[in-house]
């Protein structure tokens, strides 16, 4: 794992998270503001499977970063921490929003997290879809589910 990615893990609220999602997003971005509620709905389902997602803010000011951060239940890197820029450069992030899932060893397990979140939202985060999303980022299910598509 790169030193930069290793430093990002310090923002995790899940000790021993299996997978770490880096969500590059900003309040000034319309697509980010559309994406955030979808991720917020899926987040608790992934969190209970050992997937932590951290906001890597791309706002231009401390005030904008703080306002955007206050709308989200996820941990976030500090605005004044240079790791935000280092992570964007290291993972070649453009455009935003971008959601990249990284395994414990620092390997990228999925660079297209935004599409996974969109698919889950279309399917109303039903159990089967959440399990599929979890499998796409390299984690298994903590429980068995029936073959129906019932909600949680």
Q: Is 52 helix (H, G, I), strand (E, B) or coil?
A: strand
- Residue 25 structural domain: 3-11+20-136
Under the banding of pLDDT at 50, 70 and 90, the label for residue 19 is: confident
Contact 96, 24 (CB under 8 A): yes
Identify the CA nearest to 20 among candidates 99, 118, 130. 99
Residue 145 within a domain: no
Query: At 41, which CATH number?
Result: 3.40.30.10
Tens digits of per-residue pLDDT, 66-124? Answer: 998 888 888 888 888 888 888 888 889 999 999 999 887 778 899 999 999 999 999 98
For residue 145, count CB atoms less than 10 angstroms from its CB and return exposed for 0-12, middle for 13-18, buried for 19 or more. Answer: middle
Identify the CA nearest to 83 among candidates 17, 26, 146, 6. 6
Residue 146 within a domain: no
Residue 42 within a domain: yes
Residue 78 within a domain: yes
Domain count, the chain: 1
Q: From CA 83, how far away is CA 9, in angstroms rounded?
A: 11
**Residue 14 confidence (pLDDT):** 63
Residue 116 within a domain: yes
Buried b / exposed e over 13-50, threshold 16 CB at 10 Å, is: ebeebbbbbbbbbbbebeebeebbebbeebbebbbebb
Predicted TM-score (pTM) of the model is 0.83
Q: From CA 35, how far away is CA 97, in angstroms rounded?
A: 7
Q: Which two tokens stand for residue 76?
A: 């976030």
Residue 49 within a domain: yes
The label of the residue with tokens 């499998």 reads: 135
Residue 65 within a domain: yes
Residue 25 within a domain: yes
């Amino acid at each position: 794992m790169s030193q930069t990615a290793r430093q990002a893990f310090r923002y995790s609220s899940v000790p021993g998270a299996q997978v770490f999602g880096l969500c590059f997003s900003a309040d000034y971005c319309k697509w980010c503001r559309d994406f955030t509620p979808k991720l917020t709905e899926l987040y608790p389902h992934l969190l209970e499977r050992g997937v932590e997602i951290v906001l890597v803010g791309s706002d231009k000011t401390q005030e904008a970063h703080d306002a955007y951060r206050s709308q989200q239940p996820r941990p976030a890197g500090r605005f004044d921490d240079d790791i935000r820029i280092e992570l964007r450069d290291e993972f070649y992030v453009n455009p935003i929003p971008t959601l990249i899932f990284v395994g414990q060893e620092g390997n990228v397990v999925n660079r297209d997290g935004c599409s996974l979140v969109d698919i889950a939202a279309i399917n109303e985060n039903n159990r089967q879809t959440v399990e599929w999303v979890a499998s796409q980022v390299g984690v298994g299910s903590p429980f068995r589910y029936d073959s129906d598509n019932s909600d949680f």
